[in-house]
Structure formats: C-alpha cells, structure tokens
Chains A and B, each alone.
Chain A
C-alpha cells in the first residue's frame, strides 16, 4: 500500500516550453500533496503544499506563476513548469500524505527535468 507514481520519469525540453508533471496516489486518497525540488547531492527543498480543491501554498522564493500546481482530485496533483529555462533543470519529487492523524508522507519516484 501507499504507492505514489509520477509521470513522466524523465523529460527533456527546449528552453521556453512548458512541462507538466503528474503525481498520483495509487491506493489511497491524499488530501495533501507536496512538491519538492532536489539538486544533485543536496537535500529535498519544499516548493509548495498542494491541497485538494484549493490553491497551493508556495514556499518563499518559489514563483507561483512559474510553477503552476493543480490538485484536482484526491489522487492527482500536477506541477507545470512554465517557460522552462536551463536553471529549472532538476529532480522534481512529489509526496502524498497517507495518514489521517500523523504526517506519514510517501514519495513518488521523481521526475528528472532537463531544459536545453
């Protein structure tokens, strides 16, 4: 149980294009999902908190107009990187909260974004 999937696993795009990443909780409902970015050999950096049916809460320094988050259902959240640039190249990981009381987060396998 508690499986989270991400799609795509890897994407290469040209500078200026937009890329959508999907995060799905496969066997549980997640009212809250998180989006992280991870640069090589670094820890996970929280980008935003996504709650089903409401606007995402972005961490300081994360541009909400550049990283569009939609949490349309209890099993799906999407992150769209708009007008991507090479500095947006990173490993993007989502997590979903499975617990009802405690904050058990389960992570997706990540999406490697490379912007040329």
Chain B
C-alpha cells in the first residue's frame, strides 16, 4: 500500500518568512495530492491540491510542487502570518473518486509575530 512521509514534524518561522513542508510517497500509481490545514479542535480543511498532470500549482501565498519521478511533493507558504499557525497534512491517493487518502504524519507550523 501507499506510504507517505512528511517532514519536518515541527516548523517555526518568523512572520513574513516562507515555510516549506515536504512529503514523499511510495505508490507510483498515486496521482492526486491534497494538502490540509487543521486548526486545534477542528477538522482538516483542504487548502490546495495537485494532480499528476501538472508540476506546480499556486493559489495566492500557497503553492505546491510535484516531482513524480522522485515521488515527492512540497507545500510552500510565502509571507507567513500568525494565522497560518496550524498543523498541515499532506496526503496521496490514486485519484479515482472514492479511493482512500493516505496521510503524512503532519507538520506543526508556528509563525511567530
């Protein structure tokens, strides 16, 4: 089955700096890679996703890159703000609707004002 590794487990940055979270996956058939933000006591919120037919996707301060050959993908947050502080999870899936997501272990991001 799929195995997703996520690094780092914790990340502390100064407000305004960039944050990068990296994930690797094992199943070469995976083709859908979402990122979720989870605030304390809440459910995960989809913030961005990427499919295997593209190498990069950007949405304002958030971007995701995918390297299918190396089987890794990364989340980039620029101009970080204190409200970006949360736990971020990457996931991978064979993208047909109804297939399970395999999650990484999570990254606790702390943005210091």
Interface string of A5-47 (1 = CB under 8 A from B): 0100000000000000000000000011010000000111010
Query: Are A99 and B100 in contact, CB atoms less than 8 angstroms apart?
Result: no
Query: Are B49 and A43 in contact, CB atoms less than 8 angstroms apart?
Result: no
Q: Which residue of A lies closest to B43 (CB)?
A: A107
Given A43-B104, A44-B103, A107-B36: A31 and B98 interface contact (C-beta under 8 Å):
yes
In-complex Cβ contact of B45 among A31, A42, A101, A107 (8 A)? A107
Report the count of interface residues on B (CB-CB < 8 A): 25
In-complex Cβ contact of A49 among B46, B100, B103, B106 (8 A)? B100
Provide the residues of chain A in CB contact with B95, threshold 8 Å: 101-103
B51 at interface (Cβ–Cβ under 8 A)? yes
The docked-state distance in angstroms from the alpha carbon of A59 to that of B52 is: 27
Q: Which residue of A lies closest to B102 (CB)?
A: A46
In-complex Cβ contact of A109 among B43, B94, B97, B100 (8 A)? B43
Chain B interface, >50% SS class:
loop
The docked-state distance in angstroms from the alpha carbon of A112 to that of B103 is: 20
Provide the residues of chain B in CB contact with A46, threshold 8 Å: 100-101
Query: Are A107 and B97 in contact, CB atoms less than 8 angstroms apart?
Result: no
Given A102-B95, A103-B98: A109 and B42 interface contact (C-beta under 8 Å):
yes
Interface string of B89-113 (1 = CB under 8 A from A): 1000111111111011110000000
| Interface set of B (CB-CB < 8 Å, partner A) | 32, 34, 36, 41-46, 49, 51, 89, 93-101, 103-106
| Interface set of A (CB-CB < 8 Å, partner B) | 4, 6, 31-32, 34, 42-44, 46, 49, 51, 93, 97, 99-110, 112
